[in-house]
Amino acid sequence: MGHEKKLKRNLALFLIVNALTNLLFSLPIWVAYQTRILTFTQIALFNALLYLTTTVLELPTGALADMIGRKKTIIIGIFLNAVSLFIKVNASIPIHFLFSYLIAGIAGAMVSGADTAILYDTFKELKRENKFLSFSALVGLVIRLSLAVGTLIGGFLYLIDIRFPYLFMGLFYLVSGVIYFWVEEPAIDSQKFTLVNYVKQTKSGLMELVKRPFTKQLSIYYVMVGGITWACLDYFNQPFAKNSGFTEMGMTWLFTFTYTVSAIILYYLVRHAKFLTRQRIYLGLPIIMVLGLLPGIFVPQWLVPVSILLVQIAGSGRFTFLDKFTNMEFESRYRATAISSLNMLVSIFVIILYAISGFIQDLWGTRIIYTGLGILTLIIVLPRAFILIRHHRNNTV
């Protein structure tokens, strides 16, 4: 099979791997599973340590991916994720969870940035960059449908054996790592690994973020939107639902519903991409975030699905739309490093949120966290959207 045909095969493999690794059976039950042993303060601290580990390794692994191949670092990351999940299966004391979170942090650094870069460069080498957005929408649809299926199955697996959700997730990660061996590495701007090249690569990737006024403003906006929404998707949503009166099976149906509906909505929006101009995306994401987050402290239970749905749409919109815009701004040879730099900054922001949230959750619950994030979005992120729109209108892109 020729190089071009293998690159085309990448697209199918990318969909399969994303489908398998996003069957997150633990989504509706992790709060109940982990709070058997951990307090929210401990969970928040361990999550903060996870992202600190990722942050410390983000740039080294991103630069390494650009130089020795994104495929290799992604495979390592996938297998490490499997190890992390298997540790959770029989975790019985806090230190077990700590090790699991730390390994997951290393895995996240190995994959972060490299996966998006290898996909974008696949399209670039095939000279089909204009198809990147529509394919990203398809990937997003697959991810959200997998999340919906995984959430639905996860609740029932938990009823059979509380360890099964993590066990089966680990097995699917192992399968995904094997599948990724068939991915073809795009042959774009590779270079031999040396210490000099490593330092140069890392510096150049960081400079990509601030090389023009627009890229600097876009990077700040991306970090704020990404940090707030990812903290919710990754952590706050489930405790928010739990504090709002949902049981484990109730959360199973709740998140199955929200993931399915968000998948349909986002896929529809991308199919009408001509309407989704940069200005509308810049302004729309923080508005959706405010509507979903701000009422958190007083929203009635029957409206909780709407709040979570809005946050999921904003969070997924970041991956579907903002990732395209950021990829367009960076040179191919520094793309993985630049994206890793952005993800590092997102992780730092998430670490700060987690570091201050655990104690608040143990005292007053997660609903107040939701409202606090809504206020933060209103007074900081939304004004930043207008700055981006002004830059774009003044042709400073």
pLDDT of residue 202: 64
**Whole-number Å distance between alpha carbons of 49 and 131:** 37
pLDDT at 228 over 50: yes
With CA atoms as reference, report the closest residue to 168 among 261, 283, 86: 86
Ordered structural domains, the chain, with CATH: 3-393 (1.20.1250.20)
- pLDDT tens-digit series, residues 173-207: 999 999 999 988 887 654 544 556 656 666 776 77
pLDDT digits (tens, 9 = 90+) for 94-145: 999 999 999 999 998 888 767 877 888 888 888 887 787 778 778 878 888 8
Residues 325-347 have pLDDT tens digits of 777 767 666 676 777 778 778 88
Poorest-pLDDT segment among 45-49, 102-106, 275-279 = 275-279
User: Helices (DSSP H) in the chain: which residue ranges?
Assistant: 3-21, 30-34, 40-68, 70-89, 94-111, 114-125, 132-160, 164-179, 195-209, 213-231, 237-243, 248-271, 278-293, 304-317, 323-329, 335-364, 367-376, 382-393
pTM comes to: 0.80
- The number of beta carbons lying within 10 Å of the beta carbon of residue 280 is 12
> Mind listing the pLDDT tens digit for each residue in 289-314?
999 999 999 999 999 999 999 999 99
Q: What pLDDT, on a 0 to 100 scale, did the predictor assign at position 84?
A: 97
Cβ(50)–Cβ(105) below 8 Å: yes
